[in-house]
Chains A and B, each alone.
Chain A
């Protein structure tokens, strides 16, 4: 059995030797270089673009402006499965280049040149005249009557408003003796910061267009490139090499349609569009900033009588993944701490900012910031204990969600909390850090989360797998679930080796995906990879095995029910004798003069289940109050992600998510100039990604309750580690200082404001 073992990554050797080829490494040097000209106003209309000076730059091949886009095919960009039901389709509001600009950084023209320098020089020489409109950056101001309107079809800029109503909130709050706890909790715009920027290149072969792209979702990109260009989808081929990280940003159609178009406009020539870091920050996607307003009515015995959430999600200028992010977070609200009377109103609202899309956690990190910060406020109002309150009110074992049918099968929350507390010595520290005084204080805090696995029943869940047997008894494994750094290929190889019965090295995972070759599937997102691919790998592996044993029956004359494949050999079950190797069988099958067969298997499994994943974070901090500085001393995450296929890689995955959560809690925010709408810190120096020095040792713990609906007992782990870290840090700061920092991140700026307000420090300006 390989599942459950910490085997080494199948791609590790190539990655430590520099052999691994990413998009830019594959692109031929003859490629023309494309650069995009972006809007330098936050809202308005392009009146004229003067390219005359830019055209004179030697090496410029072509300059294309928004006025050259004659056929306007609006397209959606969210990396969601297509829906044949128009009412479930994503909002199609993008054009490859646009006259009507809606954020500082919108795409208005493109230069194609023979080299980078010519492209950059030409870009600087293009003159643009705009008609400027007023703009709006604040999510709630954008909803006011009279606010600048971004899209005609969405009055008050509201992309979508959804509600949840359980019980009778208004009646429930009449109950005598209730304590009201109310707060506003807000998360900032942050960015994925995968170290490989977005990059793609395109060229024509015959009348088809090939785009090689750093994408998580090749089959979805294929469809959208077809939609954007107005050509048949079969004329588009998308190739996905190794990725230098994605984290959801590359779960969106970014510049693939434009790059394909530029190739078509230059006679099918190879065109590369390599997005610089500064533009990746502003012009690809960001995480939605969400402002949450929570009111809880709590009984003196520490139980909830009624609860209310209003969430205002800042979509930025275009719909992208849209309301699904805010809706996911809002959907967690009545489930995490079940309560009979709940009102939820979730709004997703356009503003003149960068476009928000999918990012690791998909709305849950924002929701957990609000919900778990608020939980701490409730605990404080009651004079309760953070742990006891959570144990009393958290989703209990046996809880079933009516919509997804997800179930909490085991006592996962308490098990995770127990394990995390033991790892960090919580109880001792919690007591020790009570009631401190002085400038430098320590605190310890916790936060929990749940996370779905995959997207059923909101959307299609389907996985296809192909296995092709080689002469030596090894086989190629193909699935459309993409390796983006998380280690999916290794987990898939482990699963496939177990199902077919071969040594791990006999499984060759085809990591590079090509929509002409790879079986259909929707890609890497929703922490779905091991869960959904598990079904198709098991099903296809059994099919391959059946075909192998059928041929083994021909060769050995033994009945199939007495045969098995073990360790790459055909074995007679009755006495355990090895009858032949799989390599011998495969060679005979291929070259047989009487019955030649190329043994392969391919199948699709449509997944109609989903699974809750659970976990918690406990963080210990030291806060220097006059310096408004927080040092993270210790941090632990504990996850119930079901059975782990590869514990070492799972642990590594958790470290990465924790790191992203630490940045979310302590340092990261993309800032926009109030006067111009211009982003101010769109580079890795001014945008404070956490570094080697900002982390203590990261502790990752697991509770492994096998998920009963799953093909291999697994459930989501990719995104969960980023979900509860930031609020745990916030609650630790609260424990240390008695001050709740409700606006993330808890950086010096926000701590200064919160400490001043609380009277801990005095603003002497």
Chain B
């Protein structure tokens, strides 16, 4: 197949963006190559490991098997978009640090993005539900234990805060 290019417009981490893209490119390629959002990691490129997960209109996807052209008109959030304007960490990022849920760090960005999707639902998930929802991520360093703790802790903290503000 010869090269074909298409202009797409989307929101990435809150900013309106345009890019001419090779229609064969994955969203991972677009984010890593065109916008240098290198938190989006390549671990398998066939949707098996979850290292490339990003939120698209609030829903978590393997960006490696999501064509870049499909991103046209979408709202995309990568790990880089979680920090506050002055570089302050979000609660889930801080929890990953505090719970020692980070080791080599390669699966971390994708895992945090799945956690964000879960946490944004604003409801209490059972331990089993958290495990199911996080099971698209492969990690060889942590045994998932501290990632689980970080997600659960943040979920409970958000629910407690929401309860207080009622």
Contact = CB atoms under 8 A, between A and B. Distances in A.
Contact of A18 (B45, B80, B131, B147): B80
Contact of B139 (A195, A197, A486, A697): A195
A652 B142 contact: yes
B89 A245 contact: no
B154 interface: no
B157 interface: no
A193 B145 contact: no
A309 interface: no
A269 interface: no
B48 to A, nearest CB: 4
Interface string B8-48: 00000000000000001000000001000111011111101
Contact of A15 (B105, B137, B139, B148): B105
A72 to B, nearest CB: 34
Contacts of A684: 43-44, 48-49, 138
B59 to A, nearest CB: 19
Name which of A29, A195, A276, A683 has the most chain B CB atoms within 10 A of its CB: A195
Nearest to B92: A16
B104 interface: yes
A8 to B, nearest CB: 5
A358 to B, nearest CB: 15
A21 to B, nearest CB: 7
Contacts of A24: 38, 42
B124 interface: no
A656 B89 contact: no
B108 A693 contact: no
A293 to B, nearest CB: 31
Interface stretch (B67-75, B93-101, B158-166): B93-101
Interface string B96-133: 11101111111111001000000000000000000110
B44 A683 contact: yes
A736 B48 CA distance: 34
A194 interface: yes
B134 A277 contact: no
Contacts of B143: 655-660, 662, 695, 698
Contact of B104 (A484, A689, A693): A484
A20 interface: yes
Contacts of A193: 138, 140
Nearest to A658: B143
Contact of A277 (B46, B78, B106, B135): B46
Contacts of B144: 655, 659, 691-692, 695
Interface in A647-693: 648-649, 651-653, 655-660, 662, 683-685, 689, 691-693
Given A658-B143, A659-B142, A691 B96 contact: no
A243 interface: yes
Contact of B145 (A195, A649, A698): A698
A655 B98 CA distance: 16
A288 to B, nearest CB: 19
B39 A18 contact: yes
A439 to B, nearest CB: 23
Nearest to B106: A244
B141 interface: yes
A16 B138 contact: no
B140 A9 contact: no
B42 to A, nearest CB: 7
Interface residues of A, number: 58
A277 B107 contact: no
Contact of B142 (A8, A194, A648, A655): A655
A695 B38 contact: no
A12 interface: yes
Interface residues of B, number: 52
B155 interface: no
Contacts of B80: 17-18
A15 B134 contact: no
B138 A691 contact: yes
Nearest to B33: A29
B55 interface: no
A398 interface: no
B108 A15 contact: yes
Contacts of B140: 192-195, 245, 247, 656, 659-660, 689
B79 A652 contact: no
B83 A17 contact: yes
B143 to A, nearest CB: 3
Interface in A475-494: 484-487
B51 interface: yes
Interface string A1-12: 000001011011
A117 interface: yes
Contacts of A277: 43-46, 48-49
A623 to B, nearest CB: 20
A736 to B, nearest CB: 23
Contacts of A310: none
Given A193-B140, A195-B138, A277-B44, A16 B49 contact: no
A697 B145 CA distance: 7
B33 A16 contact: no
B44 A18 contact: no
B92 to A, nearest CB: 8
A414 B61 CA distance: 48
A121 to B, nearest CB: 9
B46 A652 contact: no
A755 interface: no
A637 B59 CA distance: 37
Contacts of B146: 652, 655
Contact of B106 (A9, A17, A22, A274): A22
A114 B6 CA distance: 21
A451 to B, nearest CB: 18
Contacts of B78: 18
Contacts of B39: 17-18
Contacts of B112: 16
Contact of B105 (A8, A192, A485, A656): A485
A8 B107 contact: no
Contacts of B103: 245, 485-487, 652-653, 656
A683 B105 contact: no
A13 interface: yes
A156 B107 CA distance: 43
A649 B104 CA distance: 12
B104 A244 contact: yes
A698 B33 CA distance: 38
A404 B23 CA distance: 61
B105 to A, nearest CB: 3
Contact of B97 (A16, A651, A658): A16
28 contacts: A6-B100, A9-B97, A11-B105, A12-B102, A14-B105, A18-B38, A18-B78, A22-B41, A24-B38, A195-B139, A195-B140, A242-B104, A243-B104, A245-B106, A274-B42, A277-B49, A486-B141, A652-B101, A652-B142, A655-B144, A655-B145, A656-B141, A684-B44, A685-B46, A689-B138, A691-B138, A692-B131, A698-B143
Given A9-B97, A648-B100, A684-B44, 17 more contacts: A8-B100, A16-B89, A17-B93, A22-B41, A22-B106, A195-B41, A195-B49, A195-B107, A242-B104, A245-B106, A277-B49, A486-B103, A652-B146, A689-B140, A693-B131, A693-B132, A698-B145
* The 7 residue pairs across chains A and B that have the minimum distance between CB atoms: A18-B39, A485-B104, A244-B106, A659-B143, A15-B105, A655-B143, A684-B48
Interface of B: 24, 33, 37-39, 41-46, 48-49, 51, 78-80, 82-83, 89, 93-94, 96-98, 100-109, 112, 131-132, 134-135, 137-148
